[in-house]
Amino acid sequence: MGNYSVDIMAINETWLRKGEEDRAPCVPGYKLRHIPRPTTVRGGRGGGVAFYIKGGIAARVRAHPEHPNVEQLWLNLNINKKKILIGTAYRPPWFELRSFLDALTASISGLAPYEHLFLLGDFNVNLLDVNNTKTKELMDFFGYLNITQLVQTPTHFIGESSSLIDIICTDAPTRNVNVNHIKELGHHSFITCETIIKKPKSKPRTIVFRPLKDILLDYFTTDLEKLPWASVSDMSDVNVMVQTYNFFLLQLFDLHAPLKRKTFKTRPTPWITDNIRLISRLRDDARDRFRHSKLPGHKKYYLDLKHQAITALACEKTAYFSKCINDHIRDPKLLWRNLKTDVLPDHKQRLLPGHFNNPDEVNAAFLDVPGNCLHNMSQLSYFEAHRYSDATFSLTVTNAETVLKIIKSLGSNAQGVDDLQSGFRQGRGTATALADVVGNILEARDRGEGTILALLDFSRAFDAINTTLLLSKLTYYGFDNDAVEWFKSYLSGRSQYVEMHKEDGTTASSSPLH
């Protein structure tokens, strides 16, 4: 591990039972995180997964949905403001692959959100055998997660045979994937990989403003009095009055406070005061002097200044947020102004992509989902000319009790109830559903996020089928002409359109699509 400068190393088949972590090799500078094989699986013998984590790396073990037979361990860490999820899992050769992948899917879904995923381990599926059913199933699983399997050479060697069963999968940019077979360590290879997690660069933002503080009040007042305000009051058209009034004011401000443009490459940091800049400059000078001299006294002086700079910056930042944010809790105007300036992301960066500004394109996209049902004329003519049986379809009068008994007798394989479900639940009606939606929107606004609300009618499902073919099949199964005509009137002549309300108050609508 020292030769390869490993930061995080995953190990499968530790063969350590619960409480036997002290038997694991002690690697200086690393800490061990271990999950043994469950005692319900072959008495806990064999198996087990673990991570060796280098000191100084703030990786936290994440709890995942428990599965009685799947050995897995997950870590979460932040690198350059990006959330990284790293997991390792071991599948014994005798364990069903589908159940194993289902357990991993549940864990990954439960541990979201994350920006990059790393999945490591021994799945005991030879990926070199591309025609194998298990290989295809595993590759489909990788495609579902949108991750790439990086290892391309054999990783497991027994005698003259070799296979690729140890994998590294990720959706992050990587480099230098190496497979090193060290015979003294066993049949499996030591696989290393480097990842590149770059800190996101802030986009420059340009603001246009008027330097009102630079206005010379005496000259401004003199020019203001010279404007012909009387001509405005003599006008009869109110629209012309407003245009003239605005023209006079803009001319006045263009003269005394002309528009200026300024570009910021980083977000403002008002808590960095002159004292902070002075301490930082002294710290940098002390660092350069120590690097040149290598003297212990210069090193101590640099470290003291470094600690002082960190402490001073934290104090200034705390004081700034206390004054500008916490002290304005009861003043929403100042509170939100400071939040938008210093905390929340740039409003322009939260706008929808440009192609969403065209309502016709949005409407066409929804019309294509989920697609059309293809048919041919022979199908239509057959169903229209034939009947399923001599019996005709008919309706009989019944009562609510009979219908209720039939519904209660229907079985379901659903596990539990979705937390977001509002219909058909006691105490969760339309009012509570609307309150929940409004609450979620308000919470998103407080976080500075946007909200897209899609309301879909159940009748939209009929757009997925071919209406003509459906009507012919109703005739085939014995529906009379009146019933078929009723369905035809309901399903035919349907149209949809998209209406967009923009931030400037204007409205854009698409052409109706039939």
What is 398-466 written as a DSSP string?
A: --HHHHHHHHHH------S--TT--TTBTTB-HHHHHHHHHHHHHHHHHTT---------GGGGGGGS-
Q: Write down the pLDDT at residue 410.
A: 64
Same domain, 249 and 210: yes
**pLDDT number for residue 220:** 93
**Cross-strand partners of 499:** 509
* One domain, residues 287 and 324: yes
What per-residue confidence (pLDDT) applies to 69? 86
Q: What is the model's pLDDT at position 371? A: 46
238 and 153 in a common domain:
no
Q: Which of 195, 213, 240 is the last residue of a domain?
A: 195
Whether 27 and 167 share a structural domain: yes
Q: What is the pLDDT of residue 206?
A: 84
Two structure tokens written together for 329: 């809790």
Domain membership of residue 87 (yes or no) is yes
Domain count within the chain: 4
The reply to whether 287 falls in a domain is yes
Report yes or no on 200 lying in a domain.
no
In-domain check, residue 292:
yes
Q: 169 and 22 in one domain?
A: yes
Rounded to whole angstroms, the Cα distance separating 170 from 511 reads 43
Q: What is the pTM of this model?
A: 0.51
**Same domain? 166 vs 102:** yes
The answer on 218 and 128 residing in a single domain is no
pLDDT of residue 96: 93
What is residue 39's predicted lDDT score, i.e. its pLDDT? 82
| CA angle, 241 then 245 then 248, to 5° | 140
Question: What's the pLDDT at 190?
Answer: 92
Q: Which residues span the domain enclosing 111? A: 8-195
For residues 334 and 375, membership in a common domain is answered with no
**In whole angstroms, what is the distance from residue 233 CA to residue 506 CA?**
31
pLDDT tens-digit profile, the chain (514 residues): 667 789 999 999 998 988 888 888 888 889 999 999 988 888 888 889 999 999 889 899 998 887 888 999 999 999 888 899 999 999 999 999 999 999 998 899 888 888 899 999 999 999 999 999 999 999 999 988 889 999 999 999 998 899 999 999 999 999 999 999 888 878 999 999 999 888 777 778 788 899 999 999 999 999 999 999 888 888 888 889 999 999 999 999 999 999 999 888 877 788 889 999 999 999 999 999 999 999 999 999 999 999 999 999 999 989 988 888 888 888 888 888 877 776 665 555 545 556 566 777 776 666 654 444 555 556 566 666 666 555 555 666 777 778 777 776 665 555 555 566 665 566 666 777 777 788 888 888 877 777 777 666 555 556 667 778 888 888 877 888 888 888 888 777 767 777 877 766 677 777 776 5
User: Which one of 168, 195, 222 terminates a domain?
Assistant: 195
Sign of the CA dihedral running 162, 168, 171, 172: negative
DSSP state of 496: B
Dihedral of CA 126/132/138/144: which sign? Answer: positive
CB atoms within 10 A of CB 180: 12
50: in domain: yes
Do 220 and 78 fall within a single domain? no
Residues 443 and 331 in one domain: no
What pLDDT is recorded for position 327? 84
Has residue 220 been placed in a domain? yes
320 lies in the same domain as 373: no
Q: Identify the domain boundary among 166, 195, 224.
A: 195
